[in-house]
Structure 1
Amino acid sequence: MSPTTPTVKGTVPFREYKTWFRVTGRPDEGRPALVVVHGGPGSTHDYLAGLSVYAEHGWNVVHYDQLGNGGSTHLPDADPAFWTPQLFADELDNLLRTLDIADDYVLFGQSWGGLLCALHASARPAGLRGLVIANSPASYPLWLSEMDVLRAQLPPGVDDTLRRHEAAGTTDSDEYLQAMNVFYARHVCRVDPYPSELMASYIETFNDPTVYRAMNGPNEFHVIGTLKDWGVIDELPSIDVPTLIISGRHDEATPVTVQPYKDLIPDSHWEILEESSHAPHLEEPERFYQVLGAYLDKVGANGAPTTTVNGG
Structure 2
Amino acid sequence: MLAEAAATVPVLLAAPVAGLLGHRAVRRARGARLLRIDTPNGIDEQGFVRIGGIEQWISIRGEDTSNPVLVEIHGGPGASHSIFGTRTRSWEKHFTVVRWDMRGAGKTFGRSGPRGQGEMSFARLYEDALDVTRYARRRLAADRVVLVASSLGSVFGLRLARSHPELYSAYVGTDQNILDAGRDTSVHEALLARLHAAGRHKDAAAAREMGCAPHRMTADQRASYDKLTVASDPLTLDTLKRVVLGSLWFSPLHSLREIGRYFAGMKFSARLTPDLAAFDDRADGTRFEVPFFVFQGDRDVITPPGRARSFFDEVQAPVKEFALIEDASHFASFRHPDRFLDLMLTRVRPLVAHRAAA
Question: What TM-score, normalized by structure 2, do the two folds share?
Answer: 0.69
1:191 matches 2:239: yes
1:71 matches 2:128: no
Choose the corresponding residue for 2:288, options 239, 243, 255.
239
Corresponding residue of 1:89:
126
| 1:54 Cα offset (Å) | 2.4
Q: Deviations over 1:191-233 (max 9, x none)?
A: 37422226679865522334542123xxxxxxxx222222432
Corresponding residue of 1:253:
303
Structure 1 SS opposite 2:49? strand
* Aligned CA distance change for structure 1 residues 62 and 248 (closer, same or farther; 3 Å): same
Q: Distance in 1 between matches of 2:354 and 2:224?
A: 55
Corresponding residue of 2:81:
45
Structure 1 SS opposite 2:232? helix
Corresponding residue of 1:128:
168
Q: Is the 8 A contact 2:299 2:329 kept in 1?
A: yes
In structure 1, list runs of 5 or more residues that go unmatched.
217-224, 305-312
* Aligned CA distance change for structure 1 residues 120 and 178 (closer, same or farther; 3 Å): closer
Choose the corresponding residue for 1:229, options 247, 257, 278.
278
Query: Partner letter of residue 315 of structure 2?
Result: L
| 1:286 Cα offset (Å) | 3.6
Query: Partner letter of residue 157 of structure 2?
Result: C
Corresponding residue of 2:152:
112
Structure with the higher fraction of residues in helix conformation: 2
Query: Partner letter of residue 97 of structure 1?
Result: R
Q: After the TM superposition, which of the residue ranges 176-185 and 293-302 deviates more from structure 2?
A: 176-185
| 1:67 Cα offset (Å) | 0.8
Corresponding residue of 2:351:
299
Q: Is the 8 A contact 1:135 1:248 kept in 2?
A: yes
Q: Deviations over 1:51-104 (max 9, x none)?
A: 4422212x2110110111212145635999x43322111101111223315622
Structure 1 SS opposite 2:340? helix
In structure 2, list runs of 5 or more residues that go unmatched.
1-34, 212-216
Q: Distance in 2 between matches of 1:150 and 1:298?
A: 38
Structure 2 SS opposite 1:209? helix
* Aligned CA distance change for structure 1 residues 143 and 245 (closer, same or farther; 3 Å): farther
Query: Partner letter of residue 191 of structure 1?
Result: T
Q: Distance in 1 between matches of 2:63 and 2:68?
A: 11
Q: After the TM superposition, which of the residue ranges 295-304 and 130-139 deviates more from structure 2?
A: 295-304
Query: Partner letter of residue 147 of structure 2?
Result: L
Aligned-CA RMSD value: 3.5
Corresponding residue of 1:283:
335
| 1:19 Cα offset (Å) | 1.6
Q: Is the 8 A contact 1:24 1:52 kept in 2?
A: no
Q: Distance in 1 between matches of 2:36 and 2:84?
A: 18
Corresponding residue of 1:263:
314
Q: After the TM superposition, which of the residue ranges 273-282 and 70-79 deviates more from structure 2?
A: 70-79
Query: Partner letter of residue 160 of structure 1?
Result: A
Query: % of aligned pairs identical?
Result: 17
Q: Distance in 2 between matches of 1:108 and 1:14?
A: 19
Q: Is the 8 A contact 2:170 2:291 kept in 1?
A: yes
Q: Is the 8 A contact 2:88 2:334 kept in 1?
A: no
Give the number of equivalent residue pairs: 290
Q: Is the 8 A contact 1:151 1:183 kept in 2?
A: yes
Q: Distance in 2 between matches of 1:234 and 1:175?
A: 30
| 1:253 Cα offset (Å) | 0.9
